């Protein structure tokens, strides 16, 4: 059988931090006597063959700004790929970032935090040394732009000695997105919006009227928009916009926004709903009593599942052909009227990523709110999230490719032993998180060997022998189910997801769940 291939987007952390002091001129909206200045801390947070991630902490040391432009030059051929919290352009080595719509105002001592993923030449990755704010290089201390006044100005607060907070202070009331819509996804409030990265994150709301607008700020992801249970639009990297659905009957409607794609390094941003004139936002839908958490890799995330050909290079690529909303997990939850999370990342494994890449793994990121985003932190699980069922699908990436020279396992059996130990530890974490009553189902598909199957089965036996009565395993038999794996790179297709959802739903029906 041909091996299942999964995408790897993993980083090897490095500890390269370069503090750069810069000073810049203010925009023309600032008074003539204004002082200008800023400080930049540039940090390479991760680096891997061909790619790297970096953070930039910008602090304004001058008078308040109502808009800003940060520039720098790369000297070794580095190229910015995805950037968040601003808009980037690059010409040769020269990079220009302008503020996003929500972070243009920088008071004295205030900061803006940027992050990006980029490429490098695998030889040298030096930090830029010519940062400039609004066009003028600086020294790192406020500098008057006109002759100093004859009387000393009032004292100002010293610049902060540490980087500014990575997130805005919690709002005193829920942002519109939280107040108007319901979600069980891992989201973080940022001003009047919420941010998120995990695939399949969805928001549901209700309104009365003839039209509804969906406030978004996302240039990386694709979305499905559904009204009254019907998909009315697919938004491809919509950017900063309010997307309108109009000409509806003047009645009560439901609206659902769902993130179709993966974005481990870039957050989407949802700002809530607006209605057409004469309409009203209604109370958000009540949470469903049933909850399921799906944990996994590309199969769970929906990698390339909308494609009808395994080579997606000519039909839009993997991202355009991915839809987390029609994965087996989403379909299973929807058929059971359950709320759900898809905690999935293509290419990552329990201890070993696809083809042995990277040094982190899925367990590194399981508890994070914004995955590998530069300011991600541990998600504070609310008391309202208590799934009665957790479905785990990890191990394909651990075993689907042969070991390479230099990996820490000399033999497949050593890898399998490490996999089992890590899996048992991961299950301990799930039990501590959700308690003894949650059912945990460990799934595994066909592979060209038996190590994944035997390891999962042994893990279940070990847990059962230790008194854990609510753990099971489920084998997806490719031939018996009739999977075609016509998704990108031999992944499950949309048809396969339907077949997998049927198998999983039937299996769930055999469990003594009380929900």
- Just list the catalytic residues: 298
- CA 208 from centroid of its chain's CA atoms: 32
Residue 258's closest CA among 294, 232, 297, 293? 232
Cα radius of gyration (the chain): 25
Residue 238 in tokens: 């919509």
Alpha-carbon gap, residue 316 to 307, rounded angstroms:
9
Residue 105 in tokens: 């105002």
For residue 424, the SS3 value is helix
| Residue 140 · residue 23 · CB < 8 Å | yes
Alpha-carbon gap, residue 223 to 238, rounded angstroms:
8
| Residue 324 · residue 342 · CB < 8 Å | yes
Helix, strand, coil share (%) of the chain residues, nearest 5:
20, 35, 50
Sort 5 into a burial class: Cβ within 10 Å, 0-12 / 13-18 / 19+. Answer: buried
Alpha-carbon gap, residue 8 to 26, rounded angstroms:
43
Residue 294's closest CA among 160, 201, 169? 201
Alpha-carbon gap, residue 120 to 52, rounded angstroms:
7
Alpha-carbon gap, residue 492 to 389, rounded angstroms:
23
For residue 221, the SS3 value is coil
Residue 343's closest CA among 358, 327, 359, 356? 327
Alpha-carbon gap, residue 200 to 202, rounded angstroms:
6
Burial pattern 215-240, b for ≥16 Cβ within 10 A else e, equals bbbbbbbbbbbbbeeeeebebeebee
| Residue 20 · residue 58 · CB < 8 Å | no
Phi, psi (deg, nearest 5) at residue 263: -160, 70
| Residue 392 · residue 295 · CB < 8 Å | yes
């Amino acid at each position: 059988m041909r091996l299942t291939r999964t995408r790897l987007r993993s980083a090897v952390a490095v500890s390269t931090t370069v503090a750069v002091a810069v000073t810049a001129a203010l925009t023309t909206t600032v008074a003539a006597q204004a002082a200008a200045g800023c400080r930049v801390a540039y940090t390479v947070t991760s680096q891997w063959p061909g790619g790297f991630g970096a953070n930039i902490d910008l602090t304004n040391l001058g008078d308040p700004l109502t808009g800003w432009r940060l520039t720098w030059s790369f000297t070794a051929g580095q190229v910015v790929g995805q950037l968040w919290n601003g808009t980037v352009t690059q010409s040769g080595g020269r990079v220009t970032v302008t503020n996003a719509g929500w972070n243009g105002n920088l008071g004295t001592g205030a900061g803006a935090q940027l992050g990006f993923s980029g490429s490098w030449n695998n030889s040298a990755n030096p930090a830029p040394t010519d940062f400039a704010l609004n066009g003028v290089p600086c020294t790192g201390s406020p500098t008057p732009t006109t002759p100093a006044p004859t009387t000393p100005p009032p004292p100002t607060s010293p610049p902060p000695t540490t980087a500014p907070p990575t997130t805005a202070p919690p709002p005193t009331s829920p942002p519109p997105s939280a107040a108007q819509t319901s979600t069980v996804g891992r989201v973080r409030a940022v001003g009047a919006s919420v941010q998120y990265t995990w695939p399949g994150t969805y928001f549901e709301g209700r309104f009365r009227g003839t039209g509804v607008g969906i406030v978004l700020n996302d240039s990386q992801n694709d979305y499905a928009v559904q009204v009254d249970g019907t998909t009315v639009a697919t938004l491809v990297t919509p950017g900063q916009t309010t997307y309108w659905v109009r000409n509806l009957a003047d009645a009560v409607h439901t609206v659902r926004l769902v993130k179709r794609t993966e974005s481990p390094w870039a957050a989407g941003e949802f700002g809530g709903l607006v209605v057409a004139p004469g309409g009203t936002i209604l109370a958000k839908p009540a949470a469903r009593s049933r909850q399921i958490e799906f944990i996994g890799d590309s199969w769970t995330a929906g990698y390339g599942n909308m494609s009808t050909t395994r080579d997606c290079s000519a039909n839009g690529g993997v991202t355009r052909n991915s839809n987390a909303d029609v994965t087996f997990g989403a379909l299973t939850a929807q058929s059971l009227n359950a709320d759900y999370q898809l905690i999935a990342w293509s290419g990552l494994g329990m201890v070993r990523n696809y083809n042995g890449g990277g040094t982190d793994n899925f367990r590194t990121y399981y508890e994070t709110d914004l995955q590998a985003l530069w300011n991600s932190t541990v998600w504070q699980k609310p008391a309202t999230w208590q799934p009665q069922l957790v479905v785990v699908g990890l191990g394909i990436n651990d075993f689907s490719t042969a070991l390479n020279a230099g990996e820490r396992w000399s033999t497949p059996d050593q890898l399998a032993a490490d996999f089992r130990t890590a899996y048992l530890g991961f299950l301990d974490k799930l039990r501590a998180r959700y308690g003894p009553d949650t059912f945990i189902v460990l799934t595994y598909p066909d592979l060209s060997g038996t190590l994944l199957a035997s390891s999962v089965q042994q893990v279940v036996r070990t847990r059962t022998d230790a008194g854990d009565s609510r753990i099971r395993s489920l084998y997806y038999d490719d031939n018996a189910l009739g999977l075609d794996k016509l998704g990108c790179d031999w992944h499950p297709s949309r048809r396969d997801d339907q077949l997998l959802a049927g198998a999983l739903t039937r299996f769930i029906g055999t469990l003594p769940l009380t929900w």
